[in-house]
Amino acid sequence: MSSNHPAIPMLAQLKTHIWNEVQPYLKDPSYPAQFMVPAKYQPEADFHWTMSSDYPKRQGKYIRGSLVVLIAEAMGVPAEKAYKTAAAMQISEDWILIHDDFEDNSPTRRGQPALHHIYGDKLAVNAGDALHALMWKILVDNQTLLGESLTIRLIDEFYTMIAHTALGQTVEMKWTQDNRVTDDSDWYFIADSKTGYYSLAGPMRFGGIIGNASETQLKLLTDLGLNLGRCFQLVDDTLDLTGNFAGLKSHSGDDIYEGKRTIPLGHLLRTASKSDSDKIISILAKPREQKTSSEVTWILDQMHQHGSITYAQNLATQYRDAALKIIDTKLTFLKHEPALSNLKTISDFILNRSY
């Protein structure tokens, strides 16, 4: 369904504006004269930026950056004042994904080999570090658009968001490493840390701050992001089990290969027989490269038999509906069109996408 969703052209249009902010930064900055790159080392500098620019040039859906712009616009701020913050949000996604892919040993990203499979672990992590530094530079440059006070506030907000995201990643990796049996509340802690905050509430708060939102208004935007973030992650988790992300993945079940704790997995472990649960836990304990396709397929079949995927899909719908109710009944300060309608369109797309 999502290939013809009205959110697609809208996101594509916003992506063009945000990319125009990102692209000029993907090169060496102006170093002090003593540290300018000598001509004989320019090939090395070119290689560095070719590698570091790889994920940005693959260009994902740009949902996070688009939310920054749409919230600001819905509060009456010209989109041009939000593009640079949206660009920093997009670059943050790219460096975090480089590090995540290395940590999870993911095989692909956006339909191509993950960066560490192209350049090796060490160079890939360093490319992520380069983009991390770039994110802060873009935020600092906001001063020309937003002034010093607002810029500093946004930088502080970015720090808080990324700190919580890193915490969520630590917990997820540790629980996977410990082969911990989790329940729904455990999943919510990770999903809220990594997706609810980082992917939805954070960008919305940035847009609200640019729009001079009050603390009460920021709280309401955060409530929206929390609900929509849970929907977003539930859809991601079910798509991993049932789809190929519109051709961007070669197979289903990456989360099982990586041993990630998800709502469908938790539901399955609660509903399967003791012997099947023990078998699932023993499979999850294996490193990715030691899990066989037949083992992963068996777990997928068990999820279908026990209604675990349907359970997660129903939860996603509930959170999407809760998010739309917040938009319709509580976010009365978002008045400006077409940004408000576009925000609702993205909310629907998050549930009904295929990638």
DSSP state of 322: H
Q: What's the pLDDT score for residue 1?
A: 44
Q: Which amino acid is at 128?
A: G
145-157 residue pLDDT tens: 999 999 999 999 9
Q: Is the pLDDT of residue 252 over 60?
A: yes
Sequence-distant (6+) residues with CB within 8 A of 274 are none
Q: Quick check: 161 and 202 in contact, CB under 8 A? A: yes
Which residue segment(s) compose the domain that 74 sits in?
2-352
Q: Quick check: 52 and 26 in contact, CB under 8 A? A: yes
- Nearest Cα neighbor of 309 from 300, 317, 318 is 300
Q: What's the pLDDT score for residue 242?
A: 84
Helix ranges, the chain (H): 7-22, 42-52, 54-58, 63-74, 83-104, 115-119, 121-140, 143-146, 148-177, 184-191, 202-210, 215-242, 254-258, 263-271, 274-284, 293-305, 308-329, 339-352
Please, which pLDDT band fits residue 3 given cuts at 50, 70 and 90? low
Region 318-344 average pLDDT: 92
Q: Is the pLDDT of residue 248 over 80?
A: no
Half-sphere exposure of 163 (CA within 13 A, CB side): 6
Region 333-354 average pLDDT: 88
Proportion of the chain above pLDDT 70, given as a percent: 97
Q: Residue 259 belongs to a domain with what CATH number?
A: 1.10.600.10
For residue 344, count CB atoms less than 10 angstroms from its CB and return exposed for 0-12, middle for 13-18, buried for 19 or more: middle
103-143 residue pLDDT tens: 988 999 999 999 999 999 999 999 999 999 999 999 999 99
Say how many domains are in the chain.
1
- Nearest Cα neighbor of 138 from 87, 90, 97, 93 is 87
The dihedral formed by the CA atoms of 58, 154, 24 and 92, expressed in degrees to the nearest 10: -20
Question: What are the Cα distances from residue 23, in Å, to 96, 113, 147?
Answer: 18, 22, 23
133: its two tokens: 């530094």
Q: Quick check: 72 and 207 in contact, CB under 8 A? A: yes
For residue 229, count CB atoms less than 10 angstroms from its CB and return exposed for 0-12, middle for 13-18, buried for 19 or more: buried
Q: Is the pLDDT of residue 230 over 60?
A: yes
pTM assigned to the model: 0.89
Q: Quick check: 71 and 331 in contact, CB under 8 A? A: no
Please, which pLDDT band fits residue 245 given cuts at 50, 70 and 90? very low
